[in-house]
């Protein structure tokens, strides 16, 4: 049996409700173990749904607090906030995304020999790594611990550029996300927190895969961190726009597909369309699975938006966006696309858009100025601000 990954909101809400009872001590105790496909009960498998905001971070965290209280669900809540932290970190430093793209392209151009091809085809001879490549290609997902081991082996044992590993994952992950992906790779390589790298050890892999793998003697277990400049200082978060008082056209995209909780009640949505460009993740495009998954999520978002505001909604190609926008003769409003390929594509369309931001992002992103640990200190305050209907952070 393999896992399934919700590509519509109804299925994501079912998964959320099924997993909520395990967001407390089951998660804290079991989240690091990867017993293999079809046997993972202690992680939510919600990342593709959260990535597209078929369910929002606020809903997921609220479910954890409601089921267990903020203390017993602390670990799960923190992991969701890792996502918000990474998103904010990149949003305050958009140049890091451009630097990643340039380094990726230069690293690919400089590649010689067949090591990259062998890694991407799962033909390295390192059993666990080759198995994860196959799983990633077949399912579009990997367990968090497997992603950490994978990235570490890629960088330190196979000695391949981290940028090409991030690119490979982005092409194949259903939850592929510019911030969580590239910054996690930097963290593993030891360039996000300079000098601190993550080293995959055979003993750790054997323990947390419950003996499925034992790469003893196959891994570089004493590497030096990669030498690279540290992340730049944080800039200011650009201001978001307001929803117009009069009628407007709503343009959805794969980064935020729950417009019902984003667009204020009473707003005059007069036209709706959506665009998804998952193939813009990489110059090499994306897998068919990723394209299908993003397309299904967008179709679901458009269907719900159409039902909510009583206007037809359709998917456009990026090239069709300017003519659609001109044809409406209305201001175009779009959910804030965070730094990444969708934001690049929308900016490149040349259509002026009003970009509106969720309170969640407004509250979290400006706090991503330093490391995660100072950010984490703000979680109780953030919960009080963002989940006003829940028991206060200190209540349980």
Ligand X SMILES: Cc1cc2nc3c(=O)[nH]c(=O)nc-3n(C[C@H](O)[C@H](O)[C@H](O)COP(=O)(O)OP(=O)(O)OC[C@H]3O[C@@H](n4cnc5c(N)ncnc54)[C@H](O)[C@@H]3O)c2cc1C
* Burial class for 280, CB neighbours closer than 10 Å (0-12, 13-18, 19+): middle
Q: How far is the CB of 280 from ligand X (least distance, A)?
A: 15
- Smaller CB separation from ligand X, 147 or 357: 147
Give 122-130's long-range contacts (Cβ < 8 A, gap of 24+).
124/158, 125/218, 126/153, 126/157, 126/215, 126/218, 126/219, 127/213, 127/215, 127/218, 128/153, 128/205, 128/209, 128/212, 128/213, 128/215, 129/153, 129/154, 129/158, 129/215
Q: How far is the CB of 326 from ligand X (least distance, A)?
A: 34
- Contact footprint for ligand X (CB under 6 A): 31, 43-47, 50-51, 79-80, 82-83, 86, 143-144, 147-148, 151, 169, 173, 175-177, 180-181, 184-185, 188
Could you give the strand order of the β-sheet that contains 313-316, starting from the edge strand earlier in sequence?
A: 313-316, 269-275, 248-253, 332-335, 354-356
- Smaller CB separation from ligand X, 46 or 305: 46
Q: How far is the CB of 57 from ligand X (least distance, A)?
A: 7
- Smaller CB separation from ligand X, 180 or 282: 180
Category of 325 on φ-ψ map: left (φ > 0), alpha (ψ -120 to 50) or beta: alpha
Distance CA(315)–CA(376), nearest Å, equals 38
- Smaller CB separation from ligand X, 19 or 324: 19
CA dihedral 381, 382, 383, 385 (to 10 degrees): 90
Q: How far is the CB of 360 from ligand X (least distance, A)?
A: 13
Whether 76 has a binding-site annotation, put simply, is yes
- Smaller CB separation from ligand X, 207 or 314: 207
- Smaller CB separation from ligand X, 43 or 356: 43
Whether 344 has a binding-site annotation, put simply, is no
Q: How far is the CB of 244 from ligand X (least distance, A)?
A: 32
Q: How far is the CB of 259 from ligand X (least distance, A)?
A: 20
Distance CA(314)–CA(274), nearest Å, equals 6
- Smaller CB separation from ligand X, 120 or 324: 120
Whether 27 has a binding-site annotation, put simply, is yes
The answer to whether 41 touches 30, Cβ cutoff 8 Å, is yes
Q: How far is the CB of 135 from ligand X (least distance, A)?
A: 13
* Burial class for 337, CB neighbours closer than 10 Å (0-12, 13-18, 19+): buried
Q: Which residues are annotated as a binding site for FAD?
A: 27, 76, 175-177
Q: Which residues are annotated as a binding site?
A: 27, 76, 175-177
């Amino acid at each position: 049996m393999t896992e399934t990954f919700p590509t519509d909101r109804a299925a994501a809400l079912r998964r959320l409700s099924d997993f909520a009872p395990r967001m407390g001590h089951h998660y804290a105790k079991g989240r690091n173990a990867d017993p293999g496909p079809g046997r993972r009960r202690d992680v939510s498998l919600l990342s593709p749904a959260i990535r597209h905001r078929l369910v929002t971070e606020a809903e997921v965290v609220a479910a954890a607090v409601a089921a267990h209280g903020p203390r017993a669900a602390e670990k799960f809540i923190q992991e969701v906030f890792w996502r918000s932290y990474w998103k904010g970190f990149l949003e305050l430093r958009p140049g890091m995304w451009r630097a990643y793209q340039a380094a990726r392209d230069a690293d690919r151009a400089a590649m010689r020999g067949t090591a990259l091809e062998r890694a991407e085809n799962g033909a390295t001879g390192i059993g666990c790594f080759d198995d994860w490549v196959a799983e990633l290609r077949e399912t579009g997902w990997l367990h968090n611990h497997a992603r950490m081991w994978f990235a570490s082996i890629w960088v330190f044992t196979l000695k391949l550029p981290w940028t090409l590993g991030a690119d490979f994952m982005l092409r194949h992950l259903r939850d592929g996300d510019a911030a969580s992906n590239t910054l996690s790779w930097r963290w593993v390589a030891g360039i996000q927190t300079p000098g601190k790298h993550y080293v995959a050890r055979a003993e750790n892999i054997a323990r947390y895969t419950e003996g499925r793998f034992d790469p003893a003697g196959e891994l570089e277990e004493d590497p030096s961190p990669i030498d690279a400049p540290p992340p730049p200082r944080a800039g200011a978060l650009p201001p978001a726009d307001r929803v117009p008082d009069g009628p407007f056209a709503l343009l959805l995209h794969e980064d935020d597909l729950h417009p019902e909780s984003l667009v204020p009640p009473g707003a005059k949505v007069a036209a709706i369309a959506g665009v998804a460009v998952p193939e813009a993740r990489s110059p090499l495009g994306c897998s068919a699975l990723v394209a299908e998954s993003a397309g299904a999520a967008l179709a679901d978002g458009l269907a719900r938006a159409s039902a909510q505001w009583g206007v037809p909604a359709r998917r456009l190609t990026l090239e069709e966006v300017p003519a659609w926008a001109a044809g409406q003769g209305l201001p175009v409003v779009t959910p804030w696309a965070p730094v990444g390929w969708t934001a690049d594509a929308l900016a490149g369309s040349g259509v002026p858009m009003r970009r509106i931001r969720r309170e969640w992002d407004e509250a979290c992103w400006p706090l991503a100025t330093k490391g995660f640990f100072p950010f984490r200190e703000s979680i109780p305050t953030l919960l009080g601000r963002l989940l006003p209907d829940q028991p206060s952070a200190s209540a349980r």
